[in-house]
Every structure is written in structure tokens, then in C-alpha cells.
Structure 1
Amino acid sequence: MTQQPPPAGPAEPPDGPAPPDLPDRVARVYGELDLSTVPAFAGGFINFGYWTALPGPGDRQLTRADRVRSEEDLYRLVLGTFDLPRGGTALDVGCGRGLGCALALREFGPGTVIGLDAHPDQIARAREANAELLAASADAPGRLEFLLGAAQDIPLPDGCVDCLFSVEAAQHFRDLPGFAREAARVLRPGGRLALTTFFARTRAAARALPALLPPYADGLDVPHVVDEVAGTLAAAGLREVRVRAIGDGVWEPYDRYMAQQPELRDDEWPRRYLTAYETGLLDYYVLTAAAG
């Protein structure tokens, strides 16, 4: 088990009913297999990382501390797209263990951060991982909160969020139009959205990706096309939709880190992401938009 749990075989038995709105494979990977514990990730985060701000020469040996820093820096990149009002409310869709929520509170000054995840195990882990911060917030109700809920059915009232962010979660969303409509609904007028993850570059690329990368073949990820994602956000009423490719700061250094770790370098298929990038099939993107 390295970058992701082993691809599901056709005879994989069910592990009980999936949580609501989650395919069985997604439920298992983020449930009993707990993707955040695999060696290619570090520090409890689950993302490829953004590596451009690491100190020292670019060709030096990369360390576990660098890996954690890269994962934190991906959150910093996304959160840095906002001009979040002091005391405002931020929503993290697909929060996992909630470590990005804690980083947002420490470094970006919102009054309240809400972490939302569709998997009950992830919400339980987020509450455990952030127990001290949650306890410290007891005198300031609502400063940090974790909610169980799906991206396409956010359990919050209309217009209650100043910014909505999502880090490496949208590749799992089966109902992107539903997510876009819900984002537009919960954001206040003028509120901002930012999401980052990997998407297919074209429809032809989306058709080719399952043959190269098992997570697309076994139902973990969906090969959404980046321009179609942007169009879906605009169709939901979000404006100023912008797309920025950041793959030059993701794929090569991530693969170099994998190659330098003895326990990771021989795990062949997770390193195909660099191949997919270099052959024009996918890239890593930041998408931003405004509400109202």
C-alpha cells in the first residue's frame, strides 16, 4: 500500500453498506483502508502536494518533512486565493482528517472553519486529530466544526459561507452539477470558491485514463474534464470562473520524492501520474470563482 490502496479486483467482496452517497470503493478506501496512513502521504494529509516553495536547491534529496510541507503548501496556495474577511466563515468540502481546517485557522484568520466530509470515519478522525483545537474553541462556539455531509447536499443554510475550498476531493464527486449548485447556494453574495485537484485535459484523455491509472478503472476517481468542470461552475451561477494549471509544481517533484524513497520507488503504477501529465492526459489545476 503506497500512493493508494491496491486497485480493487473484480471479486472484491463488499464490506457492508457504503455510507450514503458514496460508491463502495470510495467508502472502503476512506474507511477501513484509511488512505491517509499509506506511506506516500505524510502527516495525515491526502494530496500530491505543491512543491515550489521548498527551501534549498531543487535537486537535493527530498525528506518526509518536505512531503508534509508540500501537502500543507497546497492548502496555502488555495487559501491564498481568498481575501477572507477577519471573522468570516470558511467551508472545507472533503476535509478528510481536518488538517487543512486547522491550518486555515492558524494562518488565515477566519472566525469559523467548517470541515465537511461524506465519510463518517473521516469525520471521526477529524474530531480526534483536532481534539485539542476543538476543546480550545469551546469558549468560541462554531470556531471549528466538522459535519457529515455530501458535496452535492451540504447541510448548511443559504448564504452562510464567505469562502468555500476543496483540496484534492473533487476527483471523487459523481455529481459535479450538484456540488456547483450547492456551492453557489451556501456562499454569500461576493463569496469565493477555490478548488484544486487533478482533472483530465480533454474528453479523449478522460477515456484513456482508466487504462493507465487503476483508480479511474476501479471506481475510486472520476476522469472529469477540466473545461467541463469550469463550465459546470458557471452554469450554477458562479461568476469569474478561472482555471490555472499548476502541474509544473506538482508532478515531477512528487515523482522524484517517490523515486528517492526505498519503500516507494518500486511501486510502479502510482508513478504513472507523471506519465499521464507528460503525455497530456491530465494536469493539476486550481479553479476559482465568485458567488452572486
Structure 2
Amino acid sequence: MIVPDISQDAVAVADHYDELDPIYRRVWGEHVHHGLWETGRETPGEAVEELVDTVGDRLGLLPGQACVDIGCGYGSTARRLAVTRGVHVTGFTLSAEQARHAAVHSMPSVDIYVRDWLGNGLPDASADAAWSIESSEHMVDKPRFFAEAHRVLAPGGRFVICAWLAETDASGWKVRHLLEPICREGRLPSLGMREEYEAMATAAGFAVTGYEDVSRRVARTWPICAVRLVKAMLVDPEIRRLALGTRNRGAILSIPRLILAYRTGAMRYGIFRLSKAGENGR
């Protein structure tokens, strides 16, 4: 597990997203996660939705199911799956700014709360499916992240995690100059490897039913974000001020690091499929 030299907690994560809210919406978009290029011809917007739809497919969502979006951001992913799959979604975010924006675009089948997933307050076995798209990295206690998902899911429930991962046995220079700074600048309490995620999932009671490394298919996200950021800084004084003069400005430095981390293989992007045993134990 890669751990930053300055410890991070939920308060730091919330502050990060609240302060940089205008940049995130302008540069990364309202889904606040990578795009997935299947053919290479998708627009950035299409690629982002492709990742959402892939999560819905891997979960096998059915109309009427109760779902949980762990780290829902602005609620765009929850709303898309609610509309396209007919499910009801309960989402959790640490950011008051994200929740405020989500409330402007609210819909009856999506409920969003400003609450730490590690203290989510949901009843046992109350959800049919759950997903976490690039939020597990922000969890201070990753074993508890998995344990809470297992508790909240009903028997037979499915869980899909899209996660930033560290290369297995990354070399020292990759850790020092890429992975550790990415954790620090992005307010990630830790960055795990595939094997660590699977071990924590199994310890929580899940069966690991699938894993896909889609690093090459998502890596295009960061050059696109870099171009968007430069353009925004040139024309928008507020974006320029946030990028250069705020306490969370280190996140901007992570964009070139992420580009290099993907190109060198230090950073991986994985999609995990997990399941909770059914009533009969299978």
C-alpha cells in the first residue's frame, strides 16, 4: 500500500473537493471520473458515459433494484443509471459543494447525502447492488470500506469497484516521484495494489468474480484534462486563481504526474467485480 508522507483524512478530502469544485466541473466534468475508450473514436463525454454503462453492465442492474453509489460526486453517475436501468440510488459524498450541485439536478429516484461511507448509517442487507467509481482511494480505512459494503448488501448482492491502483512492486523512483506525490496532492490516504484489494474484499466476505485492467483504455483522460485546464486558466481568472493560489493547488501538479504514471505503468486502473453469498451460501 502506498501511503503519502502527509497523512490524509475525510476532512482533507472534503476540503479538497469543496475548494476545487469549479476546476473539477470545468476540467474533469460532472461525472468526476475517467473515461473509458472502447473503440478510440469516442468523444470524452461518450467515454465517460461508457465507463458508467460498463459498471451497470457488470452489476447486471435490473429495474426496481436498490443501489448505493459510494462516493457519488455530483450525482451524474447515479442519475444516468437511475434513468437507463430503472434503479433507485442512494449516494454518498463528503463534499457539500458536490451535494449542493447535485440538489439542483435532483430526481425522485436518486437520494444524495453528505456523509462518510465509513459511517453511512444504512440498514443491514438493504441494497441489491453497489458501486464505487474512484472513491475507494479516498477511504482512510479500506478494510472497513469493504466491510461496510458487505454489511449493506443483501445476500446475492453485487459490488463493482473502479479503482486507481499502484503497479505491483513498483520501483522506488516510481513510488517517490509519482505514486506518493499523487497520493499527497490528490488527498488519497493510501493507494493499493490489485492483490491488496482482492485480499481485503475476500477478508470482508466477498467472492471476487472478475477483474479487468483497463489502464490503456482510460489513460487518455489526463492529456484531455491538461489541455482543458490550460485553456480555462488562459480565459478565466477564477480558475487561474484556484489553480495557482489555493491550499489544494497541489492537485494541479498531479495531472502531469498521472500522465507519466500511466505511461510508465506505475499507475493501473482496475475494475473489480465482487459478490456476496446468497441465502444458501453460494
Fold match by TM threshold 0.5: yes
Q: Is the 8 A contact 1:211 1:217 kept in 2?
A: no
Check if 1:34 corresponds to 2:54.
no
The answer to whether the 8 Å contact 1:259/1:265 transfers is: no
- Deviation sequence 1:227-264 (CA, Å, 0-9, x none): 1011101100011343210012111x224535765826
Q: Distance in 2 between matches of 1:272 and 1:211?
A: 8
CA–CA separation in structure 2 for the residues paired with 1:23 and 1:219: 13
- 1:180-195 equivalences in 2 (<5 Å): 180-195=146-161
Q: Could you tell me whether the CA contact under 8 Å between 1:117 and 1:147 is conserved in 2?
A: yes
Deviation at 1:211, TM superposition (A): 2.0
- Once residues 22 and 168 of structure 2 are traced to their aligned partners in structure 1, the CA distance between those partners, rounded to angstroms, is 28
- The whole-number CA distance in structure 2 between the counterparts of 1:35 and 1:169 is 19
Percent pairwise identity: 25
Structure 1 runs of 4+ aligned residues shifted over 6 Å read 265-268
Q: For the structure 1 residues 161 and 206, does the alpha-carbon distance in structure 2 shift closer, same or farther, using more than 3 Å as the test?
A: farther
Distance 2:203 2:172 in 1: 21
SS of aligned partner of 1:155? coil
Q: Deviations 1:67-99 (Å, cap 9, x if unpaired)?
A: 222222211111110122321111100001100
CA distance in 1, matches of 2:150, 2:28: 32
**Deviation of residue 281 (structure 1)?**
1.3
| Greater relative contact order, per chain length (Cα 8 Å cut-off, separation 6+) | 2
Structure with a larger share of its residues in helix: 2
Contact 2:25 2:32 in 1 (8 A): no
Equivalent-residue separation in structure 1 for 2:68 and 2:172 (angstroms): 29
Classify 1:114/1:36 alpha carbon distance in 2 versus 1 (closer, same or farther; 3 Å). farther
Q: Which residue of 2 aligns with 1:140?
A: none
Separation of aligned partners in 2, 1:72 and 1:281: 26
What's the TM-score once normalised by structure 2's chain length?
A: 0.79
Size of the aligned set, in residue pairs, is 251
1:171 shift after superposition: 1.3
Aligned-partner residue type, residue 231 of structure 1: A
Do 1:36 and 1:45's aligned partners in 2 also have CA atoms closer than 8 Å?
no
Residue 179 in 1 paired to residue 165 in 2? no
- TM-score in terms of structure 1 length: 0.76
Superposed CA RMSD in Å reads 2.8
Q: Which runs of 5+ in 1 are unaligned?
A: 1-9, 11-17, 57-65, 138-142
